[in-house]
Amino acid sequence: MEYQIKQQDKFKYIEIGEGETLMLLHGLFGALSNFKDLIEYFRKNYKVVVPLLPLLELDIFHTTVGGLAKHVHRFIEARGYTNVNLLGNSLGGHVALVHTLKHPEKIKTLTLTGSSGLFENGMGDSYPKRGDREYIRKKSQLTFYDPAMATEELVNEVFEITNNRIKVIKIIALAKSAIRNNLNNELSRIKQPTCLIWGNNDTITPPFVAKEFQKLIPNSELHFIDKCGHAPMMEVPQEFNIILSDFLARHKQPAAALA
């Protein structure tokens, strides 16, 4: 389904549905298509908001996890959202964590899936090679338990990004920023109810990462999904949506100030 991309000042986003705000933050190679099933499921009962993170538009100095978290904060302020149910996948989860730590007052719940912030394999010891489609195909396949999920369309999207020298430099900057920005010592400060939804076969942020998040975030719960990799909302959307729907329903009453 095609969604209308709205714009307010420098912010591009989609907003669809009515009710409490459910905000979705995509990862390093993420796109609206990553959240298609989630958007369609939750738009019936929530105002689903997906800001398009300026992964490749920020100047190199601000092409960091912190720079993206500032963008999310300014977006929330500009749109006047409150009591936000914030969800992030991969790098988007890391951005959600940093934002929540710095600006907890408008975040009601937090959901992380395949989040960086503690440990990730990411690109391993190699980075995107321009013009190497097979490299991109293999890396894309590693995202999923079922390699067939890395469709030609998805591989082409990533290939187009990594075939541009400036974009590759920014991708590397973001990947290195995510590795440097380890939140191990800060996660105990998160007071929001937190739902961790993880693929049992995630090789990028393996299951032990999810267990560590659960140990460090006080009010958190952990759900594993079998035969699932790094992007559960894409690979097993029905199971993912049921877990998330139950979690959000349990916290749907008005939230007290969580600052």
pLDDT at 213 exceeding the cut of 70: yes
Residue 199 CB contacts under 8 Å (≥ 6 apart), including other chains: 114, 145, 224, 225, 228, 229, 230, 231, 232, 235, 236
Distance between CA atoms of residues 100 and 37, nearest Å:
25
Other beta carbons within 10 angstroms of residue 149's beta carbon come to: 15
Q: What is the DSSP letter of 81?
A: -
Q: State which of 132-146, 151-165, 175-189, 213-227 shows the largest mean pLDDT.
A: 213-227
Distance between CA atoms of residues 113 and 93, nearest Å:
7
Q: What are phi and psi of 166, to 5 degrees?
A: -65, -40
Can you list the positions of beta strands (E) in the chain? 6-8, 11-16, 20-25, 46-51, 84-89, 107-113, 194-199, 220-225
% residues pLDDT > 70 (the chain): 92
Nearest to 178 by CA among 92, 99, 57, 59: 92
pLDDT at 1 exceeding the cut of 80: no
pLDDT, tens digit, for every residue of 88-114? 999 999 999 999 999 999 999 999 999
pLDDT at 30 exceeding the cut of 80: no
List C-alpha distances in Å: 102 to 97, 105, 108, 125, 190.
Answer: 9, 9, 14, 31, 10
Distance between CA atoms of residues 80 and 93, nearest Å:
21
**Domains of the chain by start residue, with CATH:** 6-121+182-250 (3.40.50.1820)
The whole-number average pLDDT for the span 239-250 is: 98
Q: How is residue 23 written in tokens?
A: 């905000």
pLDDT at 124 exceeding the cut of 60: no
Query: For the chain, what is the largest distance between any 2 Cα atoms, rounded to a whole number of angstroms?
Result: 52
Residue 84 pLDDT level (bands cut at 50, 70, 90): very high
Q: Is 183 helix (H, G, I), strand (E, B) or coil?
A: coil
- pLDDT, residue 123, reads 46
Q: What are phi and psi of 171, to 5 degrees?
A: -60, -45
pLDDT, tens digit, for every residue of 163-208? 777 878 888 888 888 888 999 999 999 999 999 999 999 999 999 9
Q: For Cα atoms 194, 103, 68, give the angle at the middle one, nearest 5 degrees.
A: 90
pTM of the complete model: 0.90
Q: Is 163 helix (H, G, I), strand (E, B) or coil?
A: coil
Residue 258 pLDDT level (bands cut at 50, 70, 90): very low
Q: Is 71 helix (H, G, I), strand (E, B) or coil?
A: helix
- Decide which of 19 and 55 is more confident: 19
